[in-house]
Amino acid sequence: MYTPPYPERPLNPASPFKLLRMARKNLIAIWPDATFELESFSYKVLKRRVHVVTTPDAVRQVFVDGGTTYERKSSQQRHALAPLIGDGLFISDGETWRARRRVVAPVTHISRLAELTPAITAGASDLRAEWQAKAGQEIDVLVDMAELTAGIICASIFGRQLARRATQRLVKAFGVYQALIGQVDILSFLGLPDLLPRFQGFRIRFAARKIHRVLEGLIDDILGKKGGAEASLMRSMTEAANAGDAPTMDRQAFRNEAAVLFMAGHETTANTLAWAWFLLSQDPETERRLHAEVDAVLGEAPAVHADYEKLPFTRAVIEETLRLYPPVPLQGRVASGDGMIGGTAVKAGDLVLLNAWLMHRHRKLWADPDVFSPDRFLPGGSGIPSRYAYVPFSIGPRVCTGAAFGLLEAVLCLATLARKVRLTLRPGWVVEPSCRLSLRPGEVLPMLIEAR
């Protein structure tokens, strides 16, 4: 049984000042040991009450049955992302959110995945050739996975032909934007007031403008029917809008949703894959079983859509990776009205946090919660204790629209690459899970490529 690393758990809650210092360093390191078996709990920061949701019943009550009361994101999150995604789905609420959700959700619907898979297969295949040529060399897995998934999401949004010239520029410009918005989420998750440094405003708007220019160029090409007849998310969205199946959207609305898809759809999958490589490198028996599966299912060719059903163990590895290291470990909402969580009253303006980090490792929900055991997710395994206890993609009306796509992408990429290469961790390198914007295995993940 392999227990992968997790931050030391404090025995007592920290003072507010210390909590802030700890949270700035690592948002998943602040939760006292006792919270891993507590029912949902609340605390107060300055004058604001924060409710941390860690039990399946409370998750259902708030995120599924709570309706519009809990659909609003925090003002910090909205301010940090608005220059980039404007009224985009990820931070909007009310009528705008509902209208956009009707357009964006269907484009990655499960029925569309077969036509979107060629972008995944091509991206994984290109990287596999690159890695095979680099056998014996060290890479930073975080960088390689981010480039892989950025290429795939860009090709999926705009089609491979148009994406080819834009991906690198988008990756670079997004990196600048993310560095500028920095730790804003951390403050919001603690319930602190909106402290986004306004002096950064000009630089943030400038960085956003750069991204907008690239996206607008691509959208004009799509609307002008350049890029052939390739299937793409943007083409599906514009066709739906033109056919009157969806609310009217102008060029700026399409641009905002393209930015949402790029932002939400690449770093999450990249982190999942990076964690999976690390876990496999530390657990030889799981790695052996994964190799046995991909060798039996795949020949020389990269994985295609029809292979997905034949890779249950690879999928279980990804699902267990998402349990132990959910890329979005905390999801925040601001209550727009009064309500109840269990026996606790929620007032309008309170912050509600869905804490996947605590829930996925909750001692009253899971057997051996900190152990890496993909078998849980196989038929006949212990399974998940409740559908409200496993929430890497969130749950309820705001559930991730790309969940099926992201899972498919992670499984096919891992299978394609693992068929021909294995990665070993740099000797002596210590991985420390850390969460600033998302949950990552540190700032770099140096691993050596071995051909197989």
**Each residue of 408-439: b (16+ CB within 10 Å) or e?**
bbbbbbbbbbbbbbbbebeeeeebebbbbbbb
Measure the CA–CA gap between 75 and 234, rounded to whole angstroms: 28
The answer to whether residue 303 forms part of the interface with ligand HEM (CB under 6 A) is no
Burial of 144 (0-12, 13-18, 19+ CB in 10 A): buried
d(CA 232, CA 361): 37
| Nearest to ligand HEM of 40, 321 (CB atom) | 321
Give yes or no for residue 329 binding ligand HEM (CB under 6 A): no
CA-based angle 289:292:295, to the nearest 5? 145
Using the contact rule CB under 6 A, the part of the chain among 47-55, 125-133, 260-268, 282-290 near ligand HEM is 260-268
By CB under 6 A, residue 237 contacts ligand HEM: no
Q: Which residue is nearest to ligand HEM (CB)?
A: 402
Beta 351-355 vs 344-346: how paired, if at all?
Answer: unpaired
Minimum CB separation of residue 256 from ligand HEM in Å reads: 11
Site for ligand HEM in 98-127 (CB under 6 A): 101, 104, 108
Task: Provide the pairing of β-strand 344-346 with 339-341.
Answer: antiparallel
Q: Are 423 and 413 in contact (CB under 8 A)?
A: no
Q: Of 35 and 401, which has the nearer Cβ to ligand HEM? A: 401
The reply on whether position 58 binds ligand HEM by CB under 6 A is: no
- The least CB distance from residue 285 to ligand HEM, in Å, is 24
* x/- letters, 82..101, toward ligand HEM (CB under 6 A): -------xx----------x
Q: How far is the CB of 63 from ligand HEM (least distance, A)?
A: 9
Residue-by-residue DSSP string for 135-163: TT-EEEHHHHHHHHHHHHHHHHHH-HHHH
- In whole angstroms, the minimum distance from the beta carbon of 267 to ligand HEM comes to 9
Complex with ligand HEM: residue 160 or 449, whichever CB lies closer: 160
Residue 270 carries which side chain, given as an amino acid letter?
A: A
What residues are paired with 346 via a beta bridge?
339
**Which CB sits closer to ligand HEM, 322 or 423?**
322
* Non-local CB neighbours of 436 within 8 Å, separated by 6+ positions: 26, 27, 182, 183, 186
331 lies in the site for ligand HEM, by CB under 6 A? yes
SS3 content of the chain, % helix, strand, coil (to 5): 55, 10, 35
Type and span of the H or E element at 334:
strand 330-334
Which of 47-55, 176-184, 294-302, 391-399 is the region at the interface with ligand HEM (rule: CB under 6 A)? Answer: 391-399
Which of 286, 321 has the CB closer to ligand HEM? 321
Any idea of the CA torsion for 400, 401, 404, 410, to the nearest 10 degrees?
-60
**Closest distance between ligand HEM and the C-beta of residue 258, in Å?**
11
Task: Indicate whether 188 belongs to the interface with ligand HEM (CB under 6 A).
Answer: no
Among 394, 434, 436, 448, binds ligand HEM (CB under 6 A): 394
CB of 12 to ligand HEM, least distance (A): 29
State which of residues 117, 121, 236, 272 lies at the interface with ligand HEM (CB under 6 A).
272
Using CB under 6 A, which of 35, 40, 232, 268 touches ligand HEM? Answer: 268
Q: Does 215 bind ligand HEM (CB under 6 A)?
A: no
Q: What angle do CA 210, 104, 439 make, to 5 degrees?
A: 65
In sequence order, the 6+-apart residues with CB closer than 8 A to the CB of 250 are: none
Would you say 119 or 346 has its CB closer to ligand HEM? 119
Could you tell me the smallest distance in angstroms from the CB atom of residue 121 to ligand HEM? 15
Q: Does 27 bind ligand HEM (CB under 6 A)?
A: no
Residue 236 touches ligand HEM, criterion: CB under 6 A: no
Residues in region 309-328 near ligand HEM by CB under 6 A? 327-328
- 358, 400, 411, 439: which one binds ligand HEM (CB under 6 A): 400
Q: Two tokens at 253? A: 């609305």
Identified binder of ligand HEM from the candidate list 61, 74, 121, 269, rule CB under 6 A: 269
DSSP 3-state assignment of 435? strand
Which residues contact residue 51 at a Cβ distance below 8 angstroms, ignoring those fewer than 6 apart?
40, 41, 42, 341, 344, 346, 350, 351, 352, 353
By C-beta, is 132 or 394 nearer to ligand HEM?
A: 394
Distances (CA, A) of 174 to 149, 203, 208, 305, 397: 14, 13, 8, 29, 27
Contacts with ligand HEM by CB under 6 A lie at: 89-90, 101, 104, 108, 260-261, 264-265, 268-269, 272, 327-328, 331, 392-394, 398, 400-402, 405-406, 410
